[in-house]
Amino acid sequence: MAKTSLDVICKLFRDNIQECLGDSLESITLFGSATGPDYISGVSDHNFLVIINESAVNDLHLVRKLVNGWKKKKIATPLFMTRSYIESSLDSFPIEFLNMQLSHRVIHGDDVLAELNINAEDLRLQAEREVKGYLLKLRQGSILTQGKPSEIRRLIVESLAAFTSLFKALLYLKKTEIPDTINAVRDTACEALSLDAQLFKKLFNLRIKSEKTDKGQIDSLLQQYMVEVEKLASIVDQFEVK
């Protein structure tokens, strides 16, 4: 089956939403990996932020019929928001909004993300909560794995999913230039935060199914990982925001 180009997918999605919501639609923005060099056609998900007016909040049932078609094109469930929701939620989800702002492409309407003003202290506080939450989950998860290599690997890979967004937020706070690719973000963050870059490279490589590790190696990686996350929690806790 031939792969569908990104431009075609964006047009399809825009036409779908316009057909369902009409004048209630204010803007559509593509965000995430599909806007940068890490995008892989046919593999990467397509994430969209859809801004609607207040009157359309109760009309979202109209898009249900489109879900199956979206899945075939690897279109993730869109984020439907109003401008007022964003304004009142910037202090609650600054990491998420910052990452959308850093990597986005307007498909229809205004560039809503470009207008956002992310508060540095809100960003630091969420980063602290996230890191300390990761640490607790890793400690609990390490027990639940019962030492099984496949379960340890799954725990590490799943926990790493949010680290790119976190690293970008911390680089932003340190006023360090944020690279375009996931691997470059990882390496730059490790250098800026004095983390073990080689360890995180090994951890990120675990996402590649062909990467083999024995029981002793994988358990050692998990133990080292938890040490680094605990170190990161201390760093973020003492972070001075200017």
Task: Report the relative pairing of strands 79-81 and 25-31 from DSSP bridges.
Answer: unpaired
**Can you give the residue ranges of every domain in the chain?**
6-115, 120-237
Nearest CA to 164 among 194, 138, 133, 130?
130
Extract the residue ranges of the chain whose pLDDT is less than 70. 1-3, 209-212
pLDDT in tens, 205-219: 998 766 567 778 999
Specify the pLDDT at position 98.
98
**Do the first three CATH levels of 6-115 and 120-237 match, i.e. the same topology?**
no
Task: Report the relative pairing of strands 104-109 and 79-81 from DSSP bridges.
Answer: unpaired
Q: Is domain 6-115 given the CATH code 3.30.460.10 in the classification?
A: yes
pLDDT in tens, 158-181: 999 899 999 999 999 999 999 999
Question: What is the DSSP secondary structure assignment for residue 58, as one 8-state letter?
Answer: G
The class of domain 120-237 in CATH terms is mainly alpha
Specify the pLDDT at position 210.
60
Give Cα separations from 109 to 17, 51, 116 (angstroms). 13, 9, 16
Report the alpha-carbon distance of residue 203 to residue 95 in Å, rounded. Answer: 22
pLDDT in tens, 133-149: 999 999 999 999 999 99
Specify the pLDDT at position 216.
81
CB 85 within 8 Å of CB 151: no
pLDDT in tens, 121-135: 999 999 999 999 999
Q: Cα Rg for the chain, rounded, in angstroms?
A: 20
